[in-house]
Amino acid sequence: MVRQFLFIPVLMMMFAGAAQHCSDTLEVSKKYKTILIFPENISESIIGNDYGFIADLPKAEGSKFHGRILKLYYDELATEKENFTNHTVITDSGNVYDFILNLKEKPKQFTWYIKPEMAITNISGNTQLRSEDVTTPSPETKIARTETPAEQSTSSTNNKETNSIDRATKELYEKDPMEYYRLRCYYMQFDKAKISRYFSRLDNVFLWLKGVYFNEDELYFQYRIENKEGLDLDINFVKHQIATNYKNSSSNQKLGLEPVFVYKQPKTVAGKSENHFVLVFKKFALDEKKEVVVELDEESGNRNLSMTIGHEIINNPIHF
Residue whose C-alpha is closest to residue 298's, from 245, 249, 237, 240: 237
Dihedral of the alpha carbons of 100, 54, 46, 211, in degrees to the nearest 10: 180
Considering only 33-42, 111-120, 132-141, 268-277, which range has the smallest mean pLDDT? Answer: 132-141
pLDDT > 90: what percent of the chain? 49
Contact (Cβ atoms closer than 8 angstroms) between residue 204 and residue 272: no
Considering only 77-81, 92-96, 120-124, which range has the smallest mean pLDDT? Answer: 77-81
Instruction: Identify which of 9-18, 56-65, 237-246 has the greatest average pLDDT.
Output: 237-246
Express each pLDDT in 247-259 by its tens digit: 655 556 789 999 9
Q: Average of pLDDT values for 138-161?
A: 40
Q: Which is higher by pLDDT, 107 or 78?
A: 107
What are the start and end residues of each CATH 2.60.40.10 domain in the chain? Answer: 199-319
CA distances from 159 to 91, 155, 179, 282 (A): 12, 8, 15, 30
Distance CA 66, CA 85 (A): 25
Q: What is the mean pLDDT of the chain?
A: 80
CATH class, 199-319 region: mainly beta
